[in-house]
Structure 1
């Protein structure tokens, strides 16, 4: 499994994480608290940590699924952000 991260600057990271976790919660296993969340996908996991003005997104997947899942997560984050334009840049984690 490889891990990629993105630090997404946004006006309300907690709201963004909550909206996305609830959206995926209809079909996937989701854990959600005030400051963190996670979504279990068939091939891996996406974790969220709320920081001041940032949403840390960590995607743990097999390498062959990474690119597609990065696109899926980025598209869903942008959709949940509404009018706010997000910059989502993935980089390999040092873990």
Structure 2
């Protein structure tokens, strides 16, 4: 299992966390509160954490699926946070 983390500096972190989880919840299992969330895709998982100033996302997937998971989360966040134009840089760890 490989991991990658990205942080988006925003005062709207809780709103985006909940929006992502509700959106994906129509298709895959999700759990969330105002400050923590988890989205379980068939190809990996993303844990989300919201503070007053940032949304942190930790993706976990097999080596060949991690990029797909990063892309799915990045693309959807970009749509939801279009007024803030998020730029995510995923930092990979093992």
What is residue 84 of structure 2 aligned with on the other side? Answer: 84
The total of aligned residue pairs comes to: 94
SS of 1:64's equivalent in the other structure is coil
Distance in 1, Cα, partners of 2:85 & 2:36: 22
Which blocks of at least 5 consecutive residues in structure 1 are unaligned? none
Aligned equivalent of 1:24: 24
Q: Which runs of at least 4 in structure 1 moved beyond 2 Å after TM superposition?
A: none
Say what the alpha-carbon RMSD is for the aligned residues: 1.2
Uncovered stretches (5+) of structure 2, i.e. residues with no partner: none
Contact 2:17 2:34 in 1 (8 A): no
Cα contact 2:12–2:53 (8 A) shared by 1: yes
2:43 — aligned with what? Answer: 43
Provide TM-score, normalisation by structure 2: 0.93
CA contact (8 A) 2:35 2:49 kept: yes
CA distance in 1, matches of 2:65, 2:93: 16
